[in-house]
Amino acid sequence: MVTQNDFVKSRLSMKRRILIVDDEEINRLMLGNILEDDYEVLLAADGSEALNVAKNEKQRLSLILLDLHMPVMDGYEFFEKVREDEALKDVPVIVLTSEKEAEVRSLKMGAADFIPKPYDIPEVIHTRIDRIIQLYEGRNIITATQFDTLTGLFNREYFCEYSTIFDQYYPEGSKELIALNINRFHVINAVHGREFGDRVLAAIGKTVKEYAGETKGLACRYSADQFYLYLNGEGNGEELYAAINNALNELLGNSDTRVRMGIYKEAEKEADISKRMELALLACNSTKQDPGRHISCYDEKIREKEHYDELLIHDLDKAIAEKQFKVFYQPKYGVQGEKPVLSSAEALIRWVHPELGMISPGKFIPLFENNGLIGKVDRYVWKEAAAQIAQWEKKYGIKIPVSVNVSRVDIMSEDLADELETIVKEAGIETADYYLEVTESAYTDNQADMISLVKGMKDKGFTIEMDDFGTGYSSLNMLNELPFDVLKLDMVFVRNIHKDERALKLVEFIMGIAKYLKVKVVAEGVEYKEQYEILKEMGCDVIQGYYFSKPVCAEDFEAFIKERTESEVQG
Amino acid sequence: MTVEKLKELGADTEQGLMRCGNNQEFYLRLVGMALEQKGYDELEKQIKENRLTEAFEAAHALKGVLANLSLTPIYEPVSEMTEMLRAKQEADYSPLLAKMWEERKRFIE
């Protein structure tokens, strides 16, 4: 394997070309004499001549030795021209000077080094030149690998590497580690194409780079749409956010695609850079829970949540083994008859933790969805619900279908339909009484798999309910391609139906689609009589929500079953 | 012209030779060029016409060459003039110019 060092060494064994720029012939000859055994030496008497020579040589120049005092074009002017030239800007320049002042000025301009006049002993000059060439050649190799090509920011390895150096350079003062990513970036790629997605990333990269430059900081693109910044000072968040928003406005107009940011303040107090990044990212992800928020700082609350989440993950297997999870059932009522009639139920999970007490599903479902553990919870519910349907049928003589949730990770499993069929058969019930809720967003992620999976489940006789309809980002074409039986109207649409004309119109529109597709509509989250009446009037088939009942344990649910059997007897 | 002669005249020949890789022939060739170059005339001309910036440039260039070859006796008045010209001093430069010419003459003869 050729290492970077081997590469530098092998390149150093070839004869380098050095350009000497000095108006005094004697000085040129003298330096040339010192260097000509080891280097190919080119000579120029002034800046303008040197520029011509340099441009003809292009990248084959390894070094420029530059006198500052020259007629026609002096050293400073030449130096500026070289720095502006794409092909020459990386050629190191060593300044030849007899003045301290000029040494400082040229080093500030970006000279690699200086050689004082009168000249030092030849060995010193030689060593200085060799060292600079080696340094710059090595540096150019590093430069080629340390930057992300799309944005010009550091890549992740160098970001971590340089953060240590950064800490040594700026040991004083507070620093912030900022994690930054784009809301629903996959949607941008899906809708506008990858090339456009790259332009969005490049625009963010440019802004981030400028910001880090101004404030003496580092920035990297870590992966796809994940950026990190390590900055001096405090309160960088708002300003950076505004700058990025400006840049995105140019590209996206008034789109609601925005970045979210997590800030880990006083980052210097945590020694491990990857831990700093992790904590900033935790803060960043915490903004997902609050749609109005774009910036979040890592704080005690997030720290507690982190520990809490770790605890839940740790306890999951035990909870399943000890049946700490309880399946609750929320009744659904058919409302198109004279009186609402219990038609089915939705299985909802609760976790009764021995130490933490009742844990809301809002706390563990998103967590387990993110890390894939939700599959274990789903399977637990599937079995419990199937057994429950069988038990009620046996006890009351009627079939109460129950809907269970099929998560996005479940869809990845190829034999899912078979697995579900086995569960249902083992419980001794029929697939038609077992409703499967799949979410629309799963379709957005992977259309082909989703279509074949839904078809497979449908072939086995399961009833398919499209959950969260209208909250994903799929096209209306999804409705055509997925053979589902029931459309579940998300509660966000139902919430304001009795107060807001637009919400009402939207629901009317969705009801129209359902009618056209000849699928049933279930409205979720119905709380008030007004909502119920409007939905009934519109032709909604089934209603679920606090208006009828909150989710209750299996035992309490039996009251609804009894009510139905009694009314059927009376009827 | 020999290295010994230059040393006698006050040149720091060890330093000068060292910068030329201890190549006597090369050193003597450069010394010859340094003595014959037009820098001296240029310096005198600019001073006489009171163009101090240009005079400084000329003095500075000459000084650099003389320093590299360690022709110390000529270098000294030139170096002094360089610093005065850098400070844009409107002084009487003729004694220093005369000293420069005199030393150069000694080296040429």
Domain termination residue (choose one: A247, A271, A298): A298
Whether the predicted pLDDT of A229 surpasses 90:
yes
If DSSP codes are grouped into helix, strand and coil, which group holds residue A177?
strand
Q: Is position A139 within any domain?
A: yes
CATH of the domain at A237: 3.30.70.270
Smallest CA-to-CA distance from B68 within A116, A68, A117, A35 is with: A117
Given B23, B57, B68, which is nearest A118 (Cβ)?
A: B68
Mean pLDDT of A391-418: 91
What's the pLDDT score for residue A186? 80
- One domain for residues A264 and A413: no
State the best of B20, B36, B43 to mutate against chain A, taking most chain A CBs within 10 Å. Answer: B20
Distance from CA of B94 to the nearest CA of A (A): 25
What's the pLDDT score for residue A214? 67
Whether the predicted pLDDT of A29 surpasses 70:
yes
Distance from CA of A3 to the nearest CA of B (A): 36
Put simply, whether A71 touches B (Cβ < 8 Å) is yes
Buried b (16+ CB within 10 A) or exposed e, A34-58: bbeeebbbbbbbbbebbbebbeebe
Mean pLDDT of A120-143: 80
Distance from CA of B54 to the nearest CA of A (A): 10
Put simply, whether A73 touches B (Cβ < 8 Å) is no
Q: Is position A429 within any domain?
A: yes
Q: Is position A548 within any domain?
A: yes
Domain termination residue (choose one: A123, A146, A169): A146
Q: In terms of C-beta density within 10 A (0-12 exposed, 13-18 middle, 19 or more buried), how is residue A427 classed?
A: buried
Residue of B nearest to A35 (CA): B21
d(CA A156, CA A24): 49
In the numeric block, the tokens 């844990």 are attached to A359
User: Is residue A343 within a helix (H) or strand (E), and if so which, with residue range?
Assistant: strand A341-353
Q: Is position A566 within any domain?
A: no
Mean pLDDT of A296-318: 91
- One domain for residues A272 and A214: yes
Whether the predicted pLDDT of A452 surpasses 50:
yes
CB contact under 8 A, B33 and A34: no
Distance from CA of A171 to the nearest CA of B (A): 41
What's the pLDDT score for residue A141? 63
Question: How large a percentage of chain A has pLDDT more than 90?
Answer: 44
Residues of B in contact with A29 (CB under 8 A): 30
Cis peptide before A401 (omega within 30 of 0): no
What's the pLDDT score for residue A142? 63
- One domain for residues A22 and A111: yes
Given B18, B30, B57, which is nearest A29 (Cβ)?
A: B30
Q: What ipTM is given for this predicted complex?
A: 0.87
State the best of A20, A21, A23, A24 to mutate against chain B, taking most chain B CBs within 10 Å. Answer: A24
CB contact under 8 A, B19 and A29: no
Given A71, A98, A122, which is nearest B19 (Cβ)?
A: A122
- One domain for residues A160 and A200: yes
Q: For B2-46, write each residue's pLDDT tens digit.
A: 999 999 999 999 999 999 989 999 999 999 999 998 999 999 999
What's the pLDDT score for residue A5? 44
Q: Is position A568 within any domain?
A: no
- One domain for residues A284 and A339: no
- One domain for residues A22 and A80: yes
d(CA A246, CA A203): 10
pLDDT higher for A78 or A331? A331
Q: For A321-371, write each residue's pLDDT tens digit.
A: 999 999 999 999 999 998 999 999 999 999 999 999 999 898 899 889 888
Which residues constitute the domain of residue A268?
Answer: 156-298
CB pairs under 8 A between A and B: 50
Put simply, whether A450 touches B (Cβ < 8 Å) is no
When pLDDT is cut at 50, 70 and 90, the band that residue A461 belongs to is: very high
d(CA A375, CA B50): 93
Backbone φ, ψ for residue A499 (5° rounding): -120, -25
Which residues constitute the domain of residue B68?
Answer: 3-108
User: Is residue A300 within a helix (H) or strand (E), and if so which, with residue range?
Assistant: helix A300-321
What's the pLDDT score for residue A12? 43
State the best of A22, A26, A66, A125 to mutate against chain B, taking most chain B CBs within 10 Å. Answer: A26
What's the pLDDT score for residue A472? 62
When pLDDT is cut at 50, 70 and 90, the band that residue A4 belongs to is: very low
- One domain for residues A373 and A476: yes
- One domain for residues A113 and A165: no
Question: What secondary structure letter does DSSP report for A490?
Answer: P
CATH of the domain at B55: 1.20.120
d(CA A366, CA A308): 13
- Rounded mean pLDDT of chain B? 93
Treating both helix axes as pointing N-terminal to C-terminal, what angle do A300-321 and A374-396 enclose, rounded to 10 degrees? 50
In the numeric block, the tokens 């009376």 are attached to A570
Please give the model's pTM, rounded to 2 decimal places: 0.57
Mean pLDDT of A261-283: 90
Residues of A in contact with B37 (CB under 8 A): 26
CATH of the domain at A77: 3.40.50.2300
Residues 126-155 of A with CB under 8 A from B: none
State the best of B33, B40, B68, B85 to mutate against chain A, taking most chain A CBs within 10 Å. Answer: B68
Mean pLDDT of A24-50: 89
Contact (Cβ atoms closer than 8 angstroms) between residue A372 and residue A317 = no
CB contact under 8 A, A98 and B26: no
pLDDT higher for A523 or A408? A523
Distance from CA of B48 to the nearest CA of A (A): 20
Q: How many domains does chain A have?
A: 3
Residues of A in contact with B18 (CB under 8 A): 121-122
List A357's β-bridge partners, or say none.
A353
Q: How many domains does chain B have?
A: 1
d(CA B29, CA A470): 91
Question: How large a percentage of chain A has pLDDT more than 70?
Answer: 93
- One domain for residues A79 and A192: no
CB contact under 8 A, A98 and B64: yes
Distance from CA of A220 to the nearest CA of B (A): 48
Whether the predicted pLDDT of A42 surpasses 50:
yes
Query: What is the DSSP secondary-structure string of A521-547?
Result: EEE----SHHHHHHHHHHT--EEESTT
Residue of B nearest to A33 (CA): B20
When pLDDT is cut at 50, 70 and 90, the band that residue A10 belongs to is: very low
What's the pLDDT score for residue A3? 42
Tokens of B85: 């010209």
When pLDDT is cut at 50, 70 and 90, the band that residue A89 belongs to is: confident
CB contact under 8 A, A27 and B69: no
CB contact under 8 A, B68 and A27: yes
Domain termination residue (choose one: A107, A128, A146): A146
Contact (Cβ atoms closer than 8 angstroms) between residue B56 and residue B78 = no
Given A69, A117, A121, which is nearest B68 (Cβ)?
A: A117
Distance from CA of A297 to the nearest CA of B (A): 58
- One domain for residues A401 and A547: yes
Specify the range with the lowest mean pLDDT, choosing from A95-109, A387-401, A472-486, A548-562: A472-486
Whether the predicted pLDDT of A14 surpasses 80:
no
- One domain for residues A462 and A546: yes
Distance from CA of A115 to the nearest CA of B (A): 12
CB contact under 8 A, B68 and A98: no
- One domain for residues A293 and A323: no
CB contact under 8 A, A69 and B33: no
Collect all residues with Cβ–Cβ distance below 8 Å to A170 and sequence separation of at least 6: A216, A232
Q: For A482-496, write each residue's pLDDT tens digit.
A: 888 999 988 888 888
CB contact under 8 A, B21 and A29: no
Residues of A in contact with B30 (CB under 8 A): 26, 29-30
When pLDDT is cut at 50, 70 and 90, the band that residue A416 belongs to is: very high
State the best of B12, B17, B18, B19 to mutate against chain A, taking most chain A CBs within 10 Å. Answer: B19
> Which three-class secondary structure string do you get for A381-436?
HHHHHHHHHHHHHHHHCCCCCEEEEECHHHHCCCCHHHHHHHHHHHHCCCHHHEEE
Q: For A119-130, write each residue's pLDDT tens digit.
A: 888 888 888 888
Collect all residues with Cβ–Cβ distance below 8 Å to A267 and sequence separation of at least 6: A175, A176, A177, A230, A276, A280
If DSSP codes are grouped into helix, strand and coil, which group holds residue A285?
helix
Query: What is the DSSP secondary-structure string of chain B?
Result: --HHHHHHTT--HHHHHHHTTT-HHHHHHHHHHHHHSTHHHHHHHHHHTT-HHHHHHHHHHHHHHHHHHT-HHHHHHHHHHHHHHHTT-----HHHHHHHHHHHHHHH-
Specify the range with the lowest mean pLDDT, choosing from A247-251, A400-404, B26-30: A247-251
Smallest CA-to-CA distance from A392 within A337, A324, A322, A345 is with: A345
Question: What secondary structure letter does DSSP report for A15?
Answer: P
Whether the predicted pLDDT of A1 surpasses 60:
no
Q: Residue A571, Cβ neighbours under 10 Å: how many?
A: 8
Mean pLDDT of A519-528: 94
Put simply, whether A528 touches B (Cβ < 8 Å) is no
